């Protein structure tokens, strides 16, 4: 038999699923002002390990957008268990950021590159939202809305399309491939609550908020369902598409291939 290859000790990779109220933060990705969610998580890890630790997130969320299922990973050896790691990080995080589950994963797992898709939810309330909900939902107030026409228009988003008409420029990242596959756009109405559940392979900057904003304009009669199709096929962003406010949006889940978990 051949000589066995001796590998050096591997550094442990950790996956963390976390939630946050995005109201007071500058989005997910670290920022010069130090007020992004990732900035606070990096600071917490530095407190735990006494030196900087690099984190990699599944994707960005904009300022004001929330998350129930953001995912990030980092590499660090830790002599204690997963629950101990979670408590150590949690003790150094500000109010509004909460690790929900931390687990050991293999070195092939990558929070961003291993992701095969994401689920977002945009929440709307007909009329005025309760005060404790205002940070997380869009209140329609006196606007009347037709869910039937919105459901008709939503079907045009399904499949693989160039979503340039429903995105905004991110400057240096404006060269991102605009071709995305959306496999779910569901509207769930219950009482005065309305949720837009959107799933796809990936999303451009402000794409989900632009899709929801356009659908709401269909629901209020400003746009026809057919107009959504025409805008999508134009592949050009115009003032006709207005992004829904950030505070109604939440990153609910990141999908991964099971063998990489």
- Domain range list for the chain: 13-113, 116-255
* pLDDT, position 70: 98
Expressed in percent and rounded to 5, the helix, strand and coil fractions of the chain are 30, 30, 45
Using the structure block, give the residue that is written with the tokens 């066995």.
4
62 is catalytic: yes
* pLDDT, position 258: 74
How far apart (Å, rounded) are the C-alpha atoms in residues 54 and 38?
Answer: 10
Comparing 13-113 with 116-255, is the CATH topology the same?
yes
CA-based radius of gyration for the chain: 20
* pLDDT, position 171: 63
* pLDDT, position 176: 86
Give me the architecture of the 116-255 domain, per CATH: 2-Layer Sandwich (3.30)
How far apart (Å, rounded) are the C-alpha atoms in residues 148 and 128?
Answer: 22
Q: Which of 166, 170, 248, 172 is nearest to 214 (CA)?
A: 166
CATH number of 13-113: 3.30.70.580
* pLDDT, position 220: 96
- Rounded to the nearest 5°, which phi and psi values hold at 141? 55, -115
Average pLDDT per block of 10 residues along the chain, 261 residues long = 45 97 96 96 97 96 97 96 95 97 96 97 96 96 93 98 91 77 97 96 96 98 97 95 97 86 54
Burial 202-231 (b: 16+ CB within 10 A, else e): bbbbbbbbbbbbbbbbbbeeebebebbeeb
Q: Which of 21, 62, 192, 217 is catalytic?
A: 62
* Extended strands (E) in the chain: 13-20, 56-57, 66-75, 97-105, 115-125, 138-139, 159-162, 179-190, 193-200, 249-256
Residue 173 CB-density burial (10 A; 0-12 exposed, 13-18 middle, 19+ buried) = exposed
Task: Kindly compute the dihedral angle of the four CA atoms of residues 18, 21, 22, 27, in this order, to the nearest 10 degrees.
Answer: -10
Q: Which of 6, 3, 38 is nearest to 20 (CA)?
A: 38
């Amino acid at each position: 038999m051949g000589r066995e290859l001796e590998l050096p000790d591997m550094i442990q990779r950790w996956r963390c699923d976390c939630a946050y109220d995005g109201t007071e933060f500058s989005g997910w990705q670290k920022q010069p002002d130090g007020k992004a969610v990732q900035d606070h998580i990096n600071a917490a890890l530095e407190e735990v390990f006494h030196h900087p630790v690099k984190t990699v997130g599944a994707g960005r969320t904009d300022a004001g957008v929330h998350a129930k299922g953001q995912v990030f990973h980092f590499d660090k050896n830790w002599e204690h268990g997963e629950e101990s790691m979670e408590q150590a990080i949690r003790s150094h995080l500000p109010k509004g950021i909460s690790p929900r589950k931390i687990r050991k994963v293999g070195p092939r797992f990558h929070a961003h590159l291993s992701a095969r898709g994401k689920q977002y939810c945009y929440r709307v309330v007909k009329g005025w939202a309760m005060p404790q909900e205002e940070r997380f939902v869009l209140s329609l107030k006196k606007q009347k809305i037709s869910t039937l026409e919105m459901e008709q228009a939503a079907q045009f988003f399904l499949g693989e399309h160039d979503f340039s008409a429903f995105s905004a420029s991110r400057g240096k990242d404006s060269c991102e491939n605009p071709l995305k596959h959306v496999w779910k756009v569901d509207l769930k109405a219950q009482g005065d609550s309305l949720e837009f559940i959107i799933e796809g392979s990936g999303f451009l900057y402000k794409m989900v908020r632009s899709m929801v904003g356009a659908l709401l304009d269909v629901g209020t009669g400003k746009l026809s369902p057919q107009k959504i199709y025409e805008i999508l096929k134009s592949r050009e962003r115009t003032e006709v598409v207005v992004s829904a406010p950030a505070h109604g949006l939440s990153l609910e889940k990141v999908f991964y291939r099971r063998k990489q978990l």
